[in-house]
Amino acid sequence: MSTESIHIGGVRRATPADAAAIALFALEVPAPEMSDSRAIFVIDGERGPIALIDLVQRADQLQIEHLVVAPAGTREHARTLIAFAEAAARAVDVRKVRLPSGVLPDDFAISLGYVGGLKTISTGAFARARDHLEAVGVPLWRDGTASVAQTLNYRGVWAAVALLIGLGSVSFAVFSGTQTTLFHVVAPAVLCALTSIFAIWQIGLVAAAGWRRGGGIVPLLAVVAATASVLAIGALLYDRAVPALAELWNIYNGDEELGELALSVSPDGTTLHIDGTYGMGSDQAVRRALEQNPKIREVVLSGPGGRMGAGFEISRMIRSRRLATRVETACASACTIAFLGGVDRSIAPGAKLGFHQASFPGMSTDDMFEANRDMKRFLTMSAGVAAGFAQRVLDTPGDTIWVPTPEELLAARVIKRVNR
């Protein structure tokens, strides 16, 4: 039985020299022998073997003849030996491991996957990766034998990657560029929950490794660090994932909180008045108004803003029809994006235009990099705004508003004139 390449949990092959020590806790087990078809493997304690497994290789399966744990051993030693047996089966290209009745308690055997005393062993890449983790002492779902430092190295990376995947799925849903559906809300929410649970579990196993080490201040430090890490994960989710998912839910439900744009056309049919917040579907309402009133030559805008996407769509409609835009009172955020679509832009005395960078709840400035890059391209290339002005817009956080003076608006080519 070739097992030289298997290194799991300190398991080694017993030799005839171990016979006396084995007899102290496993009289029924025959003395170790150097056979190709049968071998005994042990886990050593401070004074010699404290657990053993007796394996016999048959034509179509690997059979566990005995599995004995001394009083000084634990159930984890039995679990490690079972993992070793399954790795040995893969090493000798056998797909089944038999565990005779009575070798382990029935409930324990079933928890390990042995139903009716037999388990079919996977030989794929995932199973071999699991063997590797057992070999280095860092099993995926339970504490192993690795040092605290090595455990922290492995599990810390796994926890970080899991959180990146979870939060990344939220960002992917936000920036998918497609219509927001229920899937865009539920899928990242579920993935975030699962990856967070996985990360917290790994952190808990780091604490378990600290306790396993025993003595001194290391166990206490491990628990404190684990607690701090769990709190940090909670804060991260509360700050990033929850606001973004809540906003996606609002978008999916039609932005009911934002309300609807108020649209009206002048008696002569040449001026469209747009007032209110820009929610999902606002651009469609404006499109219908423009199509139903082909004489419109000017759009008068007012409102606090809303969805940037709707603002850009309305801006494109205005520009494609070569319409003029005007602000009589105040226009901010997404409203200014629509305003900049005008080929002839003006404001009334005392009117205010408010600008800020693109933002989305839960998304950082780095997350919004591409969105703000697109905004800068729009400001400088499509709208013809001065580069310095555009940069000032991008430097203004999404939770604040920059209101330039009329002189600044004129100098930056945001408007052509202030109406008198």
Tell me, yes or no, whether 6 lies in a domain. Answer: no
How many Cβ atoms sit within 10 Å of the Cβ of residue 202? 24
Burial (0-12, 13-18, 19+ Cβ within 10 Å), 32: buried
Indicate whether 275 and 372 sit together in one domain.
yes
CATH of the domain at 36: 3.40.630.30
Q: How far apart are CA 295 and CA 215, in angstroms?
A: 85
Indicate whether 246 and 289 sit together in one domain.
no
Can you give the pLDDT at residue 64?
94
Domain's final residue, options 252, 274, 304: 252
Indicate whether 338 and 411 sit together in one domain.
yes
Name the domain count of the chain. 3
Please list the pLDDT of the chain residue by residue as tens digits (420 residues): 555 556 676 889 999 999 999 998 888 898 888 788 899 999 998 888 999 999 999 888 999 999 999 887 788 889 889 989 988 888 888 889 999 888 888 899 998 999 889 999 887 788 778 878 877 888 888 888 888 888 989 999 999 999 999 999 999 998 887 778 899 999 999 999 999 999 999 999 999 888 877 767 777 888 888 889 899 999 999 999 999 999 899 888 876 655 678 999 999 999 999 999 988 788 899 999 999 999 999 999 999 988 888 899 999 999 999 999 999 999 999 999 999 999 999 999 999 999 999 988 888 888 888 889 999 999 999 999 999 999 999 999 988 999 999 999 999 999 999 998
Indicate whether 81 and 184 sit together in one domain.
no
Tell me, yes or no, whether 19 lies in a domain. Answer: yes
Q: How far apart are CA 353 and CA 329, in angstroms?
A: 9
Indicate whether 240 and 270 sit together in one domain.
no
Indicate whether 307 and 393 sit together in one domain.
yes
Please answer whether residues 354 and 331 qualify as being in contact, where contact means their C-beta atoms are separated by less than 8 angstroms. yes
Residue range(s) defining the domain that contains residue 331 = 258-357+366-418
Tell me, yes or no, whether 271 lies in a domain. Answer: yes
Can you give the pLDDT at residue 256?
60
How many Cβ atoms sit within 10 Å of the Cβ of residue 224? 13
Indicate whether 163 and 193 sit together in one domain.
yes
CATH of the domain at 290: 3.90.226.10
Domain's final residue, options 110, 136, 162: 136
Instruction: Report the candidate in 15, 7, 23 with the shortest Cα–Cα distance to residue 84.
Output: 7
Tell me, yes or no, whether 230 lies in a domain. Answer: yes
Domain's final residue, options 217, 252, 287: 252
What is residue 227's three-state secondary structure?
helix
Tell me, yes or no, whether 350 lies in a domain. Answer: yes
Q: Which two tokens stand for residue 399?
A: 């939770």
Q: How far apart are CA 240 and CA 242, in angstroms?
A: 6
Indicate whether 194 and 213 sit together in one domain.
yes
Q: How far is CA 367 from the centre of its chain?
A: 14
Tell me, yes or no, whether 195 lies in a domain. Answer: yes
